[in-house]
Amino acid sequence: MATVSFDKATRVYPGSTKPAVDQLEIEIADGEFLVLVGPSGCGKSTSLRMLAGLEDVNAGAIRIGERDVTHLPPKDRDIAMVFQNYALYPHMSVADNMGFALKIAGVNKADIRKKVEEAAKILDLSEYLDRKPKALSGGQRQRVAMGRAIVREPQVFLMDEPLSNLDAKLRVSTRTQIASLQRRLGITTVYVTHDQVEAMTMGDRVAVLKDGLLQQVDSPRNMYDRPNNLFVAGFIGSPAMNLVEVPITDGGVKFGNSVVPVSREALAAAADKGDKTVTVGVRPEHFDLAEDSTSGTLSKEAPAGLAVVVNVVEELGADGYVYGTADLGSEKKDIVVRVNGRAVPDKGAKLHVVPRAGETHVFSTSTGERLTD
Ligand SMILES: Nc1ncnc2c1ncn2[C@@H]1O[C@H](COP(=O)(O)OP(=O)(O)O)[C@@H](O)[C@H]1O
Ligand SMILES: [Mg+2]
């Protein structure tokens, strides 16, 4: 077992001027499950391949434990990688596929058989050891690929979208299996996915990449509760956080007829950049529905919050999601609001939504940086 560090590791592909991975800096703890996530082309595979030794590192360094592996060939790094396409040998049995790396390493037959049988037991593959890969289901092939990594007892597991060839249901059950297996084995793991739900459910920590640049490394909880910038705010969470550009007023920012309190420092930081607006983020579950005061006693006052006209209601049983449009004066904005699944509004109804105190996020409109604590 070992720690892994990316120390300003950079990869510039030949013929390109822009780094595919730009000064990546992450310290991964011994036994940790770290997930690299981001949209397609953001540099996830390149980062993993640099760690594997399959891609040159043009600047910076990579360490596994105390060893600087930056320029070591893959075979000397003590890692095992699971790829998206599994890369099983079609003419070999499951047992031979799983034991192949050990055979190459000169391990004797009896020891190979023992390790393969142990791994097969953990992965529920014992009865398939004599089959060829083509006689297995997608999920079983995926487990063989895992088994091949496990038998090597590496210091680090690397996995690049290992679930993307499975159907949706199997993907969900397999992600739980991989996460619990990793915790049982305690082997430091770097796992790549473009799926933020996979990242959030599997990782001890999650690293979000965009355009080769690390945006944030954090526990799933912190990533969700306190995104560093607009990109992370919009990327993590489904349905996504509502992000609304609003004018700055005294002591806060105006969100419809409500004022969202924002610290003086944060407003000053925005004003320093010459911004007249900030971007307020509210997750769909962090809106309260205001009583419609036109039907109550406070009939003179405009209803609190933001008026949202309901376009579509998605009923998921426990919850409902309202997809609506808010009129912000200067523009119309799509808003998603989570509501009680047993009390969903009708299409065309008008709701007044108020962001819950303490659950708003404020970002600089110009730089995207988080302004609130
Ligand atoms: N072998 C290569 N040669 C040149 N450019 C590449 C190569 N592999 C990847 N890239 C580019 O590097 C960037 C990052 O790619 P990649 O790491 O595969 O992203 P991801 O895995 O996040 O989808 C992309 O712009 C991609 O086009
Ligand atoms: Mg990739």
State whether residue 40 is helix, strand or coil.
coil
Tell me the residue type at 335.
Answer: I
Residue 326 DSSP class: E
Residue with CA nearest ligand 1 atom 12? 20
Q: Which ligand is nearest to the CA of 83?
A: 2
Tell me how far apart the alpha carbons of residues 278 and 58 are, in angstroms, rounded to a whole number.
38
pLDDT at 295 over 70: no
Residue with CA nearest ligand 1 atom 9? 46
**Strands of the chain, DSSP E:** 4-11, 21-28, 33-37, 59-64, 67-68, 79-82, 156-160, 188-193, 205-210, 213-218, 242-249, 252-255, 258-261, 277-282, 287-289, 306-315, 319-327, 332-340, 350-355, 360-364
Q: Which ligand is nearest to the CA of 46?
A: 1
For the CA of 11, the nearest atom of ligand 1: 12
- Does residue 232 contact residue 208 with C-beta atoms inside 8 Å? yes
pLDDT at 297 over 60: no
Residue 17 DSSP class: S
Tell me how far apart the alpha carbons of residues 352 and 327 are, in angstroms, rounded to a whole number.
11
For the CA of 160, the nearest atom of ligand 1: 21
Tell me how far apart the alpha carbons of residues 250 and 247 are, in angstroms, rounded to a whole number.
10
Q: Which ligand is nearest to the CA of 40?
A: 1
Determine the pLDDT at residue 309: 96
Q: What is the pLDDT of residues 16-68, one digit of tens each?
A: 999 999 999 999 999 999 999 999 999 999 999 999 999 999 999 999 999 99
Determine the pLDDT at residue 293: 45
Residue 289 CA to ligand 2 center (angstroms) comes to 41
Residue 370 DSSP class: B
Residue 188 CA to ligand 2 center (angstroms) comes to 20
Show the ligand 1 pocket: residues with CB < 6 angstroms: 13, 16, 20, 38, 40-46
23-33 residues labelled b (16+ CB within 10 A) or e (exposed):
ebebebeebbb
- Six token digits for residue 157: 């597991």
Q: Span 165-190, mean pLDDT?
A: 92
For the CA of 192, the nearest atom of ligand 1: 21
Strand duo 277-282 + 360-364: pairing: antiparallel
From 10, 11, 12, 13, give the residue whose CB has the most ligand 1 atoms within 8 Å, as the site to mutate. Answer: 13
Residue with CA nearest ligand 1 atom 20? 41
Q: What is the pLDDT of residues 188-203, one digit of tens each?
A: 999 999 999 999 999 9
